[in-house]
Amino acid sequence: MFFPNVNFLRGAAALLVLVYHVVELAPWPSFPTEGALLIFRVGWVGVDLFFVISGFVIGLSAIRLYREGTAAYRWTFMRRRLARIVPLYVVTGAAFLLLIRPSFLSLSWEKVAVQIGSHLVFLHNLHPWLHVAINGPNWSVAAEMQFYVLAILAVPLLSRVDLRWLFLGGVLIAWGARALAFFGTRELGQPVVTFVYATQVPAMLDAFAIGLCIARLHLDGTMARWLARSRALPMLATAGAFAVALHFTWNAYWTHSDFWTSAGMVVFWRTGLALTFGALVLFASELPDLTRLPLLRPLDYLGRVSYGIYLWHLPVILTLRNEWPTLSPAALLALTVAIVLALAATTWHYLERPIIRRFR
């Protein structure tokens, strides 16, 4: 069971994060503050989209392996995940240390060992000092890997639990975790610390759970039955749900600029965002394969190399800023996109894809 249209969403998520970091790091104060381009000012939401997609894709993979009765289903699943995640993660992390922060290696060997060790075992997102020390976006890769382990350990339950309980459980755990993060750190007056603890795996389980629910709708045959009765009605309902969720989520965000000092926003808002992206993922999964259309193939390719876009973009932005500090923000964006796409394509064809095929 494969849903190629999800590649479009992967590519969009990676580009959202890339442009957002250019706008923030250039800096680019004149970047549009209204209209369609406003989405890039909050492009960090691309990570939340990645989490919903991961819940969906990982749910499909893990539950299908379990239901097929594969004896070593856990090992098969983790072998494939490690082959997909680790090689490029290590290469981009090493490039970041050598090219962006070589001074990091002059720290005491104990500090270097803790940093590199925590990154190699995907635990660096658990502490503010470790969180973004080596290629900032890696914090979300650690969260993804932790979710993979949790998902494959819990797959017998995920395969049979009522979807209402799966959704409700993910949401309530996320609310509780984010509440603990907010009230446990607000006295520090450091939003970055609140962010670190409010984006741990338990705090993002609403996004993952929504993706898992969509996977179950397909694996259990529910979506096939709905679409067999009427293809148009489920698609219209999903598109409508996306529009409504987007409207309320978007308006709520822009009317609460004090996001990290608002308990309501920190605890509850991301669930609305996850529902918005969940409707988008569900809609993409209902559509026929659009990747075969010649005009959309470049967008499909962006999705294929999206992991490389995500991991390469920050080292490229920082290198360009260090080497050519007078670059205009627009030039910085254009050069970043060109170089990142070249790097992502190269590592996809000569590193990622060969390893993925080797360890299928």
User: In 3D, which of 74, 271, 281, 47 has the Cα closest to residue 144?
Assistant: 47
DSSP code at position 104: G
pLDDT of residue 360: 84
User: What's residue 296's pLDDT?
Assistant: 93
Read off the amino acid at residue 22: V
Q: What pLDDT is recorded for position 251?
A: 93
pLDDT for 258 equals: 81
Residue 29, token pair as written in the block:
């104060």
CA distance 160 to 302: 34
Q: According to the model, what pLDDT value does residue 210 have? A: 98
Among residues 235, 276, 282, 305, the alpha carbon closest in space to that of 7 is found at 305
The answer to whether 79 and 42 have CB atoms below 8 angstroms apart is: no
3-state secondary structure of 227: helix
Fill in the DSSP letter of residue 128: H
List the alpha helices (DSSP H) in 186-305: 191-198, 205-219, 222-229, 232-254, 263-264, 270-286, 297-304
Check whether the bond before 294 is cis (ω within 30° of 0). Answer: no
DSSP element (H, E) containing 129: helix 128-131
Q: Concatenated DSSP letters for 302-355?
A: HHHTHHHHHHHHHHHHHHHHHH-TT--HHHHHHHHHHHHHHHHHHHIIIIIHHH
Taking a C-beta distance cutoff of 8 angstroms, is the pair 119, 93 a contact? yes
DSSP label at residue 101: -
Average confidence (pLDDT) per 10 residues, the chain, 360 residues? 91 97 96 92 96 98 92 93 97 94 87 94 95 94 98 97 97 98 92 95 98 97 91 91 95 88 95 98 94 93 97 97 94 98 98 94
b/e code 182-191 from CB counts within 10 Å (16+ = b):
beebbeeeeb
Residue 51 DSSP code: H
Estimate the crossing angle of helix 6-25 against helix 297-304, to 10 degrees. 70
pLDDT score for 52? 98
Copy the structure tokens of residue 264. 């309501």
CB 44 within 8 A of CB 20: yes
d(CA 309, CA 338): 11
Radius of gyration of the chain (CA): 20
